[in-house]
Amino acid sequence: MPESRYITQEILTGLGELDHIGIKGIRSDASTWNMVTGAINYLDGQLLSDYNDIKKYNGSKMNENHLGSTQVQYLYARSFFTAVPFNDPAAKKAFDYFRQQATLYWLSQDLQVQAMIVLALNRLEKGPVTAAILKSLKEKSLHSDEMGMYWAQPLGYYWYQSPVETQALMIAAFDEAGSDLQAVEEMKIWLLKQKQTQDWKTPRATVEACYALLLRGTDVLSQDAGVRIRVGDEKINPEKLPETKAEAGTGYFSMSWPGSGIKENMGKVTVTKSTDGIAWGALYWQYFENLDKITPHETPLKVEKQLFVVSNTPAGPVLEKITGEKTLVTGDRVRVRIVLSSDRNLEFVHMKDMRSAGFEPTETLSGYRYQDGLGYYQSTGDIATNFFFDYLNKGTYVFEYDLKVNEAGDFSNGITSVQCMYAPEFAAHSEGQRVLVK
Protein backbone atom coordinates (compact mmCIF):
# COMPACT_ATOMS: atom_id res chain seq x y z
CA MET A 1 0.00 0.00 0.00
CA PRO A 2 1.15 3.61 -0.50
CA GLU A 3 2.47 5.67 2.39
CA SER A 4 -0.06 7.58 4.50
CA ARG A 5 0.69 11.22 5.08
CA TYR A 6 -2.00 11.53 7.78
CA ILE A 7 -0.76 8.51 9.78
CA THR A 8 2.84 9.71 9.51
CA GLN A 9 1.81 13.11 10.89
CA GLU A 10 -0.20 11.39 13.62
CA ILE A 11 2.79 9.26 14.71
CA LEU A 12 5.15 12.24 14.59
CA THR A 13 2.68 14.21 16.73
CA GLY A 14 2.56 11.37 19.26
CA LEU A 15 6.35 11.23 19.47
CA GLY A 16 6.44 15.01 19.82
CA GLU A 17 3.93 14.94 22.68
CA LEU A 18 5.99 12.29 24.48
CA ASP A 19 9.07 14.44 24.04
CA HIS A 20 7.15 17.48 25.27
CA ILE A 21 6.21 15.85 28.59
CA GLY A 22 9.78 14.75 29.24
CA ILE A 23 10.20 11.25 27.79
CA LYS A 24 13.94 11.31 27.18
CA GLY A 25 14.12 8.29 24.89
CA ILE A 26 12.68 10.19 21.92
CA ARG A 27 15.92 12.08 21.33
CA SER A 28 18.44 9.85 23.11
CA ASP A 29 17.49 6.59 21.40
CA ALA A 30 19.13 6.53 17.96
CA SER A 31 16.54 4.37 16.21
CA THR A 32 13.65 6.46 17.54
CA TRP A 33 15.33 9.72 16.54
CA ASN A 34 16.05 8.33 13.07
CA MET A 35 12.34 7.58 12.77
CA VAL A 36 11.52 11.15 13.81
CA THR A 37 13.92 12.77 11.34
CA GLY A 38 12.85 10.42 8.54
CA ALA A 39 9.19 11.32 9.12
CA ILE A 40 10.02 15.05 9.17
CA ASN A 41 11.95 14.86 5.88
CA TYR A 42 9.07 12.98 4.22
CA LEU A 43 6.47 15.45 5.50
CA ASP A 44 8.57 18.47 4.51
CA GLY A 45 8.54 17.09 0.97
CA GLN A 46 4.76 16.59 1.04
CA LEU A 47 4.23 20.19 2.13
CA LEU A 48 6.54 21.42 -0.62
CA SER A 49 4.45 19.44 -3.12
CA ASP A 50 1.30 21.22 -1.83
CA TYR A 51 3.03 24.59 -2.24
CA ASN A 52 4.20 23.81 -5.78
CA ASP A 53 0.66 22.74 -6.78
CA ILE A 54 -0.78 26.02 -5.51
CA LYS A 55 1.86 27.97 -7.46
CA LYS A 56 1.16 25.92 -10.58
CA TYR A 57 -2.63 26.06 -10.59
CA ASN A 58 -3.37 29.20 -8.52
CA GLY A 59 -0.24 31.29 -8.97
CA SER A 60 -2.19 34.54 -9.27
CA LYS A 61 -4.18 33.81 -6.09
CA MET A 62 -1.40 32.85 -3.68
CA ASN A 63 -2.68 35.28 -1.06
CA GLU A 64 -6.12 33.65 -0.91
CA ASN A 65 -7.02 30.89 1.55
CA HIS A 66 -5.26 27.63 0.67
CA LEU A 67 -4.99 26.34 4.22
CA GLY A 68 -6.35 22.88 5.03
CA SER A 69 -6.43 20.65 8.10
CA THR A 70 -3.60 18.51 6.68
CA GLN A 71 -1.24 21.46 6.49
CA VAL A 72 -2.19 22.62 10.00
CA GLN A 73 -1.63 19.13 11.40
CA TYR A 74 1.83 19.23 9.81
CA LEU A 75 2.62 22.63 11.38
CA TYR A 76 1.57 21.29 14.78
CA ALA A 77 3.64 18.10 14.45
CA ARG A 78 6.65 20.02 13.10
CA SER A 79 6.49 22.57 15.93
CA PHE A 80 7.64 19.90 18.40
CA PHE A 81 10.94 19.63 16.52
CA THR A 82 11.83 23.17 15.44
CA ALA A 83 15.55 22.49 15.79
CA VAL A 84 15.51 19.87 13.00
CA PRO A 85 16.75 21.70 9.84
CA PHE A 86 15.11 21.60 6.41
CA ASN A 87 17.08 19.53 3.92
CA ASP A 88 15.65 21.54 1.01
CA PRO A 89 15.54 25.38 1.20
CA ALA A 90 12.40 25.28 -0.94
CA ALA A 91 10.67 23.26 1.80
CA LYS A 92 11.46 26.05 4.27
CA LYS A 93 9.81 28.52 1.90
CA ALA A 94 6.69 26.30 1.75
CA PHE A 95 6.73 26.06 5.54
CA ASP A 96 6.83 29.85 5.92
CA TYR A 97 4.00 30.22 3.39
CA PHE A 98 1.61 27.92 5.26
CA ARG A 99 2.62 29.41 8.60
CA GLN A 100 1.57 32.81 7.23
CA GLN A 101 -1.66 31.24 5.92
CA ALA A 102 -2.40 30.01 9.46
CA THR A 103 -2.04 33.52 10.88
CA LEU A 104 -4.48 34.91 8.28
CA TYR A 105 -7.13 32.23 7.88
CA TRP A 106 -7.41 30.51 11.28
CA LEU A 107 -11.01 31.62 11.74
CA SER A 108 -12.20 29.45 8.83
CA GLN A 109 -10.93 26.26 10.50
CA ASP A 110 -12.66 23.85 12.90
CA LEU A 111 -12.13 24.18 16.64
CA GLN A 112 -9.52 21.43 16.96
CA VAL A 113 -7.57 22.80 14.01
CA GLN A 114 -7.65 26.27 15.60
CA ALA A 115 -6.17 24.78 18.79
CA MET A 116 -3.37 23.23 16.70
CA ILE A 117 -2.70 26.62 15.10
CA VAL A 118 -2.42 28.21 18.56
CA LEU A 119 0.15 25.66 19.70
CA ALA A 120 2.15 25.74 16.45
CA LEU A 121 2.31 29.54 16.20
CA ASN A 122 3.12 29.88 19.91
CA ARG A 123 6.22 27.75 19.40
CA LEU A 124 7.21 29.20 16.04
CA GLU A 125 6.77 32.96 16.39
CA LYS A 126 4.85 33.93 19.59
CA GLY A 127 2.96 36.72 17.82
CA PRO A 128 -0.31 38.45 18.76
CA VAL A 129 -2.35 36.00 16.66
CA THR A 130 -2.26 33.28 19.34
CA ALA A 131 -3.80 35.64 21.91
CA ALA A 132 -6.54 36.58 19.43
CA ILE A 133 -7.37 32.93 18.72
CA LEU A 134 -7.50 32.05 22.43
CA LYS A 135 -9.77 35.03 23.08
CA SER A 136 -12.09 33.90 20.27
CA LEU A 137 -12.17 30.32 21.55
CA LYS A 138 -12.94 31.45 25.09
CA GLU A 139 -15.83 33.60 23.86
CA LYS A 140 -17.33 30.56 22.10
CA SER A 141 -17.01 28.25 25.11
CA LEU A 142 -19.82 27.06 27.39
CA HIS A 143 -19.59 26.85 31.20
CA SER A 144 -21.42 24.96 33.94
CA ASP A 145 -20.59 24.09 37.55
CA GLU A 146 -20.89 20.36 36.87
CA MET A 147 -19.45 20.04 33.35
CA GLY A 148 -16.79 22.76 33.50
CA MET A 149 -15.68 24.57 30.33
CA TYR A 150 -16.38 23.01 26.93
CA TRP A 151 -17.55 23.69 23.38
CA ALA A 152 -20.76 22.73 21.62
CA GLN A 153 -19.32 20.64 18.82
CA PRO A 154 -21.35 17.84 17.23
CA LEU A 155 -19.54 14.59 16.45
CA GLY A 156 -18.42 14.62 12.81
CA TYR A 157 -16.89 12.19 10.34
CA TYR A 158 -13.43 13.80 10.07
CA TRP A 159 -10.50 13.32 12.45
CA TYR A 160 -10.61 16.97 13.55
CA GLN A 161 -14.32 16.79 14.51
CA SER A 162 -13.99 14.45 17.47
CA PRO A 163 -15.12 16.21 20.70
CA VAL A 164 -12.67 14.36 23.00
CA GLU A 165 -9.59 15.11 20.87
CA THR A 166 -10.80 18.70 20.44
CA GLN A 167 -11.13 19.16 24.21
CA ALA A 168 -7.68 17.64 24.76
CA LEU A 169 -6.07 20.03 22.25
CA MET A 170 -7.92 22.96 23.84
CA ILE A 171 -6.43 22.02 27.22
CA ALA A 172 -2.94 21.94 25.67
CA ALA A 173 -3.51 25.29 23.94
CA PHE A 174 -4.79 27.15 27.01
CA ASP A 175 -2.11 25.54 29.18
CA GLU A 176 0.91 26.17 26.97
CA ALA A 177 0.01 29.32 25.02
CA GLY A 178 -2.43 30.97 27.40
CA SER A 179 -1.08 29.94 30.82
CA ASP A 180 -4.74 29.98 31.92
CA LEU A 181 -4.74 27.46 34.77
CA GLN A 182 -8.33 28.13 35.75
CA ALA A 183 -9.60 27.43 32.22
CA VAL A 184 -7.42 24.28 32.03
CA GLU A 185 -8.88 22.88 35.25
CA GLU A 186 -12.43 23.63 34.07
CA MET A 187 -11.76 21.88 30.75
CA LYS A 188 -10.37 18.82 32.53
CA ILE A 189 -13.73 18.49 34.31
CA TRP A 190 -15.56 18.06 30.99
CA LEU A 191 -12.96 15.59 29.73
CA LEU A 192 -13.24 13.41 32.84
CA LYS A 193 -17.04 13.70 32.84
CA GLN A 194 -17.11 12.08 29.39
CA LYS A 195 -15.18 9.13 30.78
CA GLN A 196 -17.59 8.88 33.72
CA THR A 197 -20.59 7.87 31.61
CA GLN A 198 -19.05 6.61 28.35
CA ASP A 199 -15.73 5.58 26.89
CA TRP A 200 -13.34 7.85 25.00
CA LYS A 201 -14.27 6.04 21.76
CA THR A 202 -10.91 5.53 20.02
CA PRO A 203 -7.25 4.85 20.86
CA ARG A 204 -6.37 8.28 19.44
CA ALA A 205 -8.95 9.98 21.67
CA THR A 206 -7.63 8.12 24.74
CA VAL A 207 -4.01 9.02 23.95
CA GLU A 208 -4.86 12.71 23.45
CA ALA A 209 -6.95 12.79 26.63
CA CYS A 210 -4.15 11.24 28.70
CA TYR A 211 -1.64 13.68 27.19
CA ALA A 212 -3.86 16.63 28.13
CA LEU A 213 -4.34 15.39 31.70
CA LEU A 214 -0.59 14.84 32.18
CA LEU A 215 0.37 18.35 31.10
CA ARG A 216 1.18 21.10 33.55
CA GLY A 217 -1.62 22.03 35.95
CA THR A 218 -3.06 20.07 38.84
CA ASP A 219 -1.54 16.59 39.19
CA VAL A 220 -4.57 14.36 38.71
CA LEU A 221 -2.54 11.30 39.74
CA SER A 222 -1.42 12.77 43.05
CA GLN A 223 -1.48 10.18 45.81
CA ASP A 224 -2.98 12.75 48.17
CA ALA A 225 -6.14 14.20 46.66
CA GLY A 226 -6.57 16.41 49.72
CA VAL A 227 -10.11 15.17 50.39
CA ARG A 228 -11.31 14.86 53.98
CA ILE A 229 -14.68 13.25 54.73
CA ARG A 230 -16.71 13.29 57.93
CA VAL A 231 -19.89 11.19 58.27
CA GLY A 232 -21.66 12.32 61.42
CA ASP A 233 -19.02 12.15 64.16
CA GLU A 234 -16.82 9.70 62.23
CA LYS A 235 -13.78 10.81 60.24
CA ILE A 236 -13.08 8.72 57.15
CA ASN A 237 -9.37 8.19 56.54
CA PRO A 238 -8.83 5.65 53.73
CA GLU A 239 -5.12 5.35 54.48
CA LYS A 240 -5.66 4.04 58.03
CA LEU A 241 -8.37 1.48 57.33
CA PRO A 242 -7.26 -1.64 55.40
CA GLU A 243 -10.70 -2.24 53.92
CA THR A 244 -10.82 1.28 52.45
CA LYS A 245 -7.27 1.54 51.11
CA ALA A 246 -7.33 3.94 48.19
CA GLU A 247 -6.65 2.60 44.69
CA ALA A 248 -3.29 3.69 43.29
CA GLY A 249 -3.55 6.49 40.75
CA THR A 250 -7.28 7.18 41.01
CA GLY A 251 -7.57 7.36 44.81
CA TYR A 252 -10.84 5.42 44.66
CA PHE A 253 -12.15 3.74 47.83
CA SER A 254 -15.51 2.71 49.28
CA MET A 255 -17.00 2.14 52.73
CA SER A 256 -20.29 0.68 53.91
CA TRP A 257 -22.22 0.43 57.17
CA PRO A 258 -24.85 -2.19 58.08
CA GLY A 259 -28.30 -1.07 59.18
CA SER A 260 -27.45 -1.54 62.84
CA GLY A 261 -24.43 0.75 62.48
CA ILE A 262 -26.31 3.70 61.02
CA LYS A 263 -26.95 6.59 63.42
CA GLU A 264 -29.18 9.61 62.99
CA ASN A 265 -26.32 12.12 62.81
CA MET A 266 -24.79 10.22 59.85
CA GLY A 267 -27.30 12.09 57.71
CA LYS A 268 -24.89 15.02 57.91
CA VAL A 269 -21.88 14.47 55.64
CA THR A 270 -19.05 16.99 55.25
CA VAL A 271 -16.51 16.84 52.41
CA THR A 272 -13.49 19.17 52.41
CA LYS A 273 -10.88 19.41 49.63
CA SER A 274 -7.64 21.23 50.40
CA THR A 275 -5.91 20.79 47.02
CA ASP A 276 -6.69 22.05 43.52
CA GLY A 277 -8.54 20.01 40.94
CA ILE A 278 -11.73 17.99 41.09
CA ALA A 279 -12.86 14.90 42.98
CA TRP A 280 -16.04 12.81 42.76
CA GLY A 281 -17.91 10.87 45.37
CA ALA A 282 -21.33 9.39 46.01
CA LEU A 283 -23.41 8.41 49.03
CA TYR A 284 -26.05 5.68 48.80
CA TRP A 285 -28.75 4.81 51.30
CA GLN A 286 -30.12 1.34 50.66
CA TYR A 287 -33.40 0.49 52.36
CA PHE A 288 -36.37 -1.88 52.12
CA GLU A 289 -39.91 -0.71 51.41
CA ASN A 290 -43.15 -2.00 49.90
CA LEU A 291 -43.05 -1.39 46.15
CA ASP A 292 -46.24 0.64 46.05
CA LYS A 293 -44.93 3.06 48.72
CA ILE A 294 -41.67 3.92 46.97
CA THR A 295 -41.32 7.59 46.04
CA PRO A 296 -39.61 8.80 42.82
CA HIS A 297 -35.84 9.27 42.66
CA GLU A 298 -33.82 10.94 39.93
CA THR A 299 -30.21 11.80 39.11
CA PRO A 300 -29.21 13.12 35.68
CA LEU A 301 -31.57 10.28 34.71
CA LYS A 302 -35.29 10.67 35.31
CA VAL A 303 -38.08 8.19 34.66
CA GLU A 304 -41.86 8.59 34.99
CA LYS A 305 -44.48 5.89 34.58
CA GLN A 306 -48.22 6.20 33.95
CA LEU A 307 -50.98 3.65 33.34
CA PHE A 308 -54.02 4.27 31.13
CA VAL A 309 -57.18 2.28 30.40
CA VAL A 310 -57.74 2.06 26.64
CA SER A 311 -61.43 2.34 25.71
CA ASN A 312 -62.79 2.01 22.19
CA THR A 313 -65.29 4.74 21.27
CA PRO A 314 -66.96 5.80 18.00
CA ALA A 315 -64.34 8.57 17.84
CA GLY A 316 -61.50 6.10 18.29
CA PRO A 317 -59.41 4.81 21.23
CA VAL A 318 -59.56 6.98 24.35
CA LEU A 319 -56.97 6.87 27.17
CA GLU A 320 -58.12 7.31 30.79
CA LYS A 321 -55.38 7.65 33.39
CA ILE A 322 -55.42 5.05 36.18
CA THR A 323 -55.24 6.65 39.63
CA GLY A 324 -55.73 5.31 43.16
CA GLU A 325 -59.50 5.65 42.85
CA LYS A 326 -59.78 3.93 39.47
CA THR A 327 -60.98 0.30 39.54
CA LEU A 328 -60.22 -2.02 36.62
CA VAL A 329 -62.13 -5.10 35.50
CA THR A 330 -60.75 -8.25 33.96
CA GLY A 331 -60.49 -7.95 30.22
CA ASP A 332 -59.48 -4.27 30.24
CA ARG A 333 -56.63 -3.17 28.03
CA VAL A 334 -53.99 -1.11 29.84
CA ARG A 335 -51.38 1.08 28.14
CA VAL A 336 -48.08 1.65 29.91
CA ARG A 337 -46.38 4.96 29.18
CA ILE A 338 -42.78 5.49 30.32
CA VAL A 339 -41.06 8.86 29.95
CA LEU A 340 -37.26 8.61 30.20
CA SER A 341 -35.07 11.74 30.35
CA SER A 342 -31.29 12.19 30.47
CA ASP A 343 -29.34 15.45 30.61
CA ARG A 344 -26.20 13.90 29.07
CA ASN A 345 -25.11 11.12 26.72
CA LEU A 346 -24.90 7.70 28.38
CA GLU A 347 -23.71 4.27 27.29
CA PHE A 348 -24.97 0.82 28.28
CA VAL A 349 -28.24 1.73 29.98
CA HIS A 350 -30.74 -0.80 31.38
CA MET A 351 -34.37 0.08 32.11
CA LYS A 352 -36.63 -2.40 33.92
CA ASP A 353 -40.39 -1.89 34.01
CA MET A 354 -42.13 -4.11 36.58
CA ARG A 355 -45.82 -4.96 36.24
CA SER A 356 -48.68 -6.24 38.36
CA ALA A 357 -49.24 -9.98 38.70
CA GLY A 358 -52.77 -9.33 37.38
CA PHE A 359 -51.47 -8.05 34.02
CA GLU A 360 -50.23 -9.99 31.00
CA PRO A 361 -48.37 -8.44 28.06
CA THR A 362 -50.12 -8.43 24.69
CA GLU A 363 -46.75 -8.58 22.93
CA THR A 364 -44.52 -11.39 24.14
CA LEU A 365 -41.81 -11.49 21.46
CA SER A 366 -38.52 -9.83 22.34
CA GLY A 367 -36.57 -7.97 19.71
CA TYR A 368 -34.73 -4.90 18.53
CA ARG A 369 -36.77 -1.69 18.29
CA TYR A 370 -36.09 1.71 16.74
CA GLN A 371 -37.98 4.94 17.41
CA ASP A 372 -37.23 8.65 17.45
CA GLY A 373 -33.59 8.07 16.51
CA LEU A 374 -33.07 5.63 19.40
CA GLY A 375 -32.26 1.94 18.92
CA TYR A 376 -32.79 -0.50 21.78
CA TYR A 377 -33.56 -4.15 22.60
CA GLN A 378 -36.90 -4.84 24.32
CA SER A 379 -37.22 -8.09 26.26
CA THR A 380 -40.48 -9.28 27.80
CA GLY A 381 -40.14 -11.39 30.97
CA ASP A 382 -42.54 -12.93 33.48
CA ILE A 383 -42.53 -10.02 35.94
CA ALA A 384 -41.07 -7.13 33.96
CA THR A 385 -40.24 -5.72 30.55
CA ASN A 386 -36.58 -4.85 30.07
CA PHE A 387 -35.07 -2.24 27.76
CA PHE A 388 -31.37 -2.28 26.83
CA PHE A 389 -29.67 0.76 25.25
CA ASP A 390 -26.13 0.64 23.90
CA TYR A 391 -26.18 4.41 23.55
CA LEU A 392 -28.69 6.86 25.03
CA ASN A 393 -28.38 10.37 23.63
CA LYS A 394 -29.23 13.37 25.76
CA GLY A 395 -32.98 14.02 25.54
CA THR A 396 -36.45 12.77 26.49
CA TYR A 397 -37.98 9.54 25.15
CA VAL A 398 -41.46 8.05 25.46
CA PHE A 399 -42.09 4.28 25.42
CA GLU A 400 -45.55 2.66 25.27
CA TYR A 401 -46.82 -0.91 25.24
CA ASP A 402 -50.13 -2.63 26.07
CA LEU A 403 -51.15 -5.12 28.77
CA LYS A 404 -54.28 -7.19 29.36
CA VAL A 405 -55.99 -7.37 32.78
CA ASN A 406 -56.57 -11.10 33.45
CA GLU A 407 -56.80 -11.48 37.26
CA ALA A 408 -58.95 -9.83 39.94
CA GLY A 409 -57.39 -8.55 43.15
CA ASP A 410 -55.46 -5.74 44.84
CA PHE A 411 -51.99 -5.61 43.27
CA SER A 412 -48.76 -3.68 43.53
CA ASN A 413 -47.69 -2.55 40.06
CA GLY A 414 -44.03 -2.17 41.06
CA ILE A 415 -41.72 0.55 39.78
CA THR A 416 -39.73 1.39 36.67
CA SER A 417 -36.00 1.63 37.33
CA VAL A 418 -33.18 2.74 35.04
CA GLN A 419 -29.42 2.63 35.51
CA CYS A 420 -26.29 3.37 33.48
CA MET A 421 -24.25 0.18 33.80
CA TYR A 422 -21.06 2.07 32.82
CA ALA A 423 -21.62 4.57 35.66
CA PRO A 424 -23.94 2.92 38.23
CA GLU A 425 -24.25 6.12 40.26
CA PHE A 426 -26.54 7.40 37.49
CA ALA A 427 -29.77 5.64 38.37
CA ALA A 428 -33.42 6.60 38.84
CA HIS A 429 -36.79 5.02 39.49
CA SER A 430 -40.45 5.95 39.31
CA GLU A 431 -42.90 5.93 42.18
CA GLY A 432 -44.81 2.80 43.17
CA GLN A 433 -48.52 2.29 42.45
CA ARG A 434 -51.34 -0.08 43.45
CA VAL A 435 -54.07 -1.24 41.07
CA LEU A 436 -57.47 -2.66 42.04
CA VAL A 437 -59.13 -5.18 39.70
CA LYS A 438 -62.70 -6.55 40.00
Q: Which of 147-156, 212-221, 255-264, 379-388 is the most confident on average? A: 379-388
> In this structure, are residues 415 and 432 in contact, taking their beta carbons and an 8 Å threshold?
yes
Same fold, 5-214 and 293-437: no
Q: Encode pLDDT of 353-378 as tens digits.
A: 999 999 999 988 999 999 888 999 99
Q: Under 8 Å CB-to-CB from 197, ≥6 apart: which residues? A: 344, 345, 346, 347, 420, 422, 423, 426
Cα separation values, 43 from 2, 8, 27, 158, Å: 14, 8, 19, 20
Report the alpha-carbon distance of residue 44 to residue 76 in Å, rounded.
13
> In this structure, are residues 303 and 429 in contact, taking their beta carbons and an 8 Å threshold?
yes
Cα separation values, 291 from 7, 87, 294, 296, 429, Å: 57, 76, 6, 11, 11
Report the alpha-carbon distance of residue 42 to residue 9 in Å, rounded.
10
Q: Encode pLDDT of 378-430 as tens digits.
A: 999 999 999 999 999 999 999 999 999 999 999 999 999 999 987 888 899 99
Report the alpha-carbon distance of residue 205 to residue 159 in Å, rounded.
10
pLDDT, the chain, mean: 90
Q: Which amino acid is at 223?
A: Q
Max Cα-Cα span within the chain? 93
Question: Residue 247 has what pLDDT?
Answer: 75
Cα separation values, 110 from 72, 114, 116, 147, 417, Å: 11, 6, 10, 22, 40
Q: How many CA atoms lie within 13 A of 267 on its CB side?
A: 2
> Does the reported pTM lie above 0.95?
no
Q: Encode pLDDT of 44-81 as tens digits.
A: 999 999 999 999 999 889 999 999 999 999 999 999 99
Report the alpha-carbon distance of residue 22 to residue 399 in Å, rounded.
53
Q: Encode pLDDT of 287-319 as tens digits.
A: 888 888 889 998 889 999 999 999 988 888 899
Q: Which amino acid is at 380?
A: T
For the chain, which residues make up each domain, given as ranges? 5-214, 227-273, 293-437
Architecture (CATH level 2) of domain 293-437: Sandwich (2.60)
Question: Residue 239 has what pLDDT?
Answer: 67
CATH class as words, domain 5-214: mainly alpha
Q: Which amino acid is at 131?
A: A
Report the alpha-carbon distance of residue 103 to residue 117 in Å, rounded.
8
Q: pLDDT band at 236, cuts 50/70/90?
A: confident
- Element holding 211 (H helix, E strand): helix 203-214
Question: Residue 11 has what pLDDT?
Answer: 95
Instruction: Give 3-state DSSP helix, strand, coil % of the chain, rounded to 5.
Output: 40, 25, 35
